Structure 1
Amino acid sequence: MNRPLIGITCYVETASFSAWRLPSAVLPLTYIDKVVAAGGQPVLLPPAGDPARLVERLDGLIVAGGGDVDPTWYGEAPHPATSHVRKFRDEAEVALVCRAVESDLPFLGICRGLQVLNVALGGTLHQHLPDLVGHAGHAPAPATFGNLPVLLAPDSRLATITGKDMLDCSHYHHQAADRLGHGLSIAATAEDGTIEALEIPGHPFAIAVQWHPEAGDDPSLFNAFVAQANGGC
């Protein structure tokens, strides 16, 4: 099998393994499993050095979940609930996303990945959704996914890929896109109006979702992404 090379961004956090507790570059295995099952060859991209230089060597890019984007990127002061900001990761991933979009590299953003895409293209974020929507259903408790339906835009590529107009999704986010970045269109919303997916019309494949498809059972999004990274086969 010809496995396209899929770069996946990752966390740099203190992690425990065996007898050690050390600063580590880590990623939940579910991302890797979904890429492998779809026919891709995953490679982790830590936020170190100049990962944007690797775009020309990749067949596809996934920007994975993580902490909040530093709100100074879009000219705001931090909300009290804004947390786990890693400026070095923001800098690496914004540069990586801009290079990927410019070069038409197939792109999939997941949770934080949607927020990075929107900010990289000049958009802004709602920093704490409960203030806006009046509930915590998008992140009900620490390390606990919320289960909320999302409504897909009928003309979106996401609707074409899934063959559905509504999805039940695993959510874990307290932030979301506010003002859209340049060239982005809304591909899905929650019933409370929260933007749950973005696309770049005319791009070979640029989709970002606010939920966590790597935690779900529907492989269609990963399958379509890896197929596009493999030349649309």
Structure 2
Amino acid sequence: MKQRILLFATIILIGCNHAPQGSNHLDSATTTRQIIVMHPTVNNLKTFLYLTENALFPLPKDYRVVGVYHAKEIYDYKKAQKFIDEQGLSNVSLLKVDNVICADSLYAKNSCTELFTKLFNESQGAIFFGGPDIPPFTYGDSTNLLTVVTDPNRHYMELSFLFQLLGGNQNVGFKPLMDEKPDFRILGICLGMQTMNVATGGTLYQDIPTELYGKRSVESVLAMDANQQHRNYNTNFTDDTSLIWGGFHQIYVVPGAKIVSLLSVNGVRPFVLSSHHQSVKKLGMGLRVAAWSIDGKVVEAIEHNRFPNVIGLQFHPEPTLLYERGIKIKIQSNKPAEQSFEELYPGEKGASFHIAFWAMMGEMYK
């Protein structure tokens, strides 16, 4: 039987200072390796465990997982605690951060700097999962009527953490943590990639259909080519919860990109799963494009020029439905779910690309 241990580390800081203060309760005597999972909801923990336990993401068994979240996030992390406890996950702990991060100290030393430094020093990598829209003021823009900001405190913490890891052109004199450990691994998925871009000084298109394609209605978006649709807009017309939340489209991987090695044949344009209405506009400091949408309008993946294990993906490589033949996918209400992702896009069309991606991630963590 697995030992049922749940470790909570709470950092309590008062005020809104620009210099690190207080202390944290991370186990400095940790002898095993550690990976950070940001926004460790039950769903994200289940996804992470599915990938690792099924050897899709072959993370060595000596790794422990620390899930990091802000106390003012909108998610109820008592649910995550209960899940960890019920599953007896002795290698998984949660870290609640109470630090106040001011808007004017996102891209500088702040109340979280000491914690971020400790996390970095005691970990080998971090995963930033998907989520809602980033507050546009964090990249110097006004708020579009189609932008919906629901979880600002999560964004502030994740933006500040990624800035302190990677640096950014908002504060070019700041020395990023990764200067000391350039092989640290970072994976940003969907929102995670957008956060990586904004943290390093980049900007975002706040709505793809209106800003990139001049479309003002759901009907006009659905009339476009599938490769220009970046979520499943059929969900706007129904309360059918069996519809998949994302849309499938192809991507073009840039020659020379790290992820080009995942293609079985050069020039293959694999299908991926996307669910977003915002995208990278101006690239952040040190970043380069690794993949585009087929029409070259939407950045689909980014890599870092200096830090080889930093990858951002605008699409979702992690959902269970991409790897289970028994999960049939329903895209439209009037059409039954008859095929799995592997059946829709077998081999080099998409399935093998995703498997190769997680195998590559496993190699990074050896």
Bucket of the pairwise TM-score, normalised by the shorter protein: 0.7 to 0.9
Partner of 2:260: 159
Letter of the structure 1 residue corresponding to residue 48 of structure 2: Y
Given that 1:115 and 1:125 are in contact with CA atoms closer than 8 Å, whether structure 2 keeps it comes out as yes
1:129 aligned to which of 192, 208, 214: 208
Provide the aligned C-alpha RMSD in A.
2.3
Q: Give the C-alpha shift of residue 34 in structure 1.
A: 1.9
Residue in structure 1 matched with residue 291 of structure 2 by the alignment: 188
Shift of residue 154, structure 1, vs aligned partner: 1.1
Question: Are 1:211 and 2:234 an aligned pair?
Answer: no
Partner of 2:247: 146
Provide the rounded CA distance (Å) in 2 between the counterparts of 1:116 and 1:138: 18
Residue number among 36, 54, 64 corresponding to 1:7 in the alignment: 36
Change in CA separation of 1:32 and 1:112 when aligned onto 2, cut-off 3 Å: farther
1:56, CA displacement in angstroms? 1.4
Q: Deviation digits for residues 187-211 of structure 1, max 9, x if unmatched?
A: 1011232111111023130110000
Q: Following the alignment from structure 2 to structure 1, what is the Cα–Cα distance between the partners of residues 315 and 194?
A: 11
Q: Could you tell me which residue of structure 1 aligns to residue 49 of structure 2?
A: 32
Which letter does structure 1 place at the counterpart of 2:143? P
8 Å CA contact retained: 1:60, 1:226? no
Q: Percent of pairs identical after alignment?
A: 25
The count of aligned residue pairs is 216
Task: Report whether the alignment pairs 1:46 with 2:40.
Answer: no
Unmatched tracts of structure 1, length 5 or more: 12-24
* Distance in 2, Cα, partners of 1:157 & 1:4: 25
Structure with the bigger percentage of strand: 1
Select the structure of larger CA radius of gyration: 2
Q: Which residue of 1 aligns with 2:272?
A: 169
Task: Write out per-residue CA displacement over residues 60-89 of structure 1, whole angstroms, 9 at most, x where no aligned residue.
Answer: 111100011110011111112212432211
Q: Secondary structure at the match of 2:270?
A: strand
After superposition, what is the alpha-carbon deviation per residue over 1:1-35, rounded to whole angstroms, capped at 9, x for unaligned?
A: x9852211116xxxxxxxxxxxxx54432233224
Q: Secondary structure at the match of 1:147?
A: strand
Secondary structure at the aligned position of 1:173 is classed as: coil
Distance 1:56 1:223 in 2: 25
Contact 2:135/2:149 (CA < 8 Å) preserved in 1?
Answer: no
Question: Which residue number corresponds to residue 73 of structure 2?
Answer: none
Q: Give the residue type in structure 2 aligned to 1:151.
A: Y
Counterparts of 2:271 and 2:290, CA distance in 1: 15
CA pair 221-180 structure 1, distance change in 2 beyond 3 A: same
- TM-score normalized by structure 2? 0.55
CA distance in 2, matches of 1:3, 1:138: 39
Deviates more, 1:103-112 or 1:89-98: 89-98
Pairs within 5 Å for 1:75-114: 75-101=140-166, 102=176, 103=178, 104=182, 105-114=184-193
Name the CA shift for 1:167/1:207 in 2 (closer, same or farther; >3 Å): same
Q: TM-score, normalised by structure 1?
A: 0.83
Cα deviation 1:136-188 (Å, max 9, x = unaligned): 62112456110010110011001124445422101001100001111111010
Letter in 2 for 1:127: Q
Tell me which amino acid in the other structure corresponds to 1:152.
V
- Consecutive unaligned residues of structure 2, counting only runs of 5 or more, are 1-30, 71-96, 99-111, 167-175, 216-220, 223-228, 236-243, 324-353
Contact map agreement 1:82 1:128 (CA 8 A) in 2: yes
Q: Report what 1:18 is aligned to.
A: none
SS in 2 for 1:189: strand
Q: Residues 169 and 124 (structure 1 numbering): CA distance in 2 closer, same or farther, change over 3 Å?
A: same
CA distance 1:185–1:55, change in 2 (3 Å): same
Other structure's SS at 2:126 match = strand
Alignment partners' CA distance in 2, 1:90 and 1:202:
24
Q: Give the structure 2 partner of residue 120 of structure 1.
A: 199
How far residue 214 of structure 1 moved from its aligned partner, in angstroms, is: 0.1
CA distance in 2, matches of 1:115, 1:210: 8
Question: Counterpart of 1:113 in 2: which secondary structure?
Answer: helix
| 2:66 maps to amino acid | V
Q: Distance in 1 between matches of 2:264 and 2:303?
A: 16
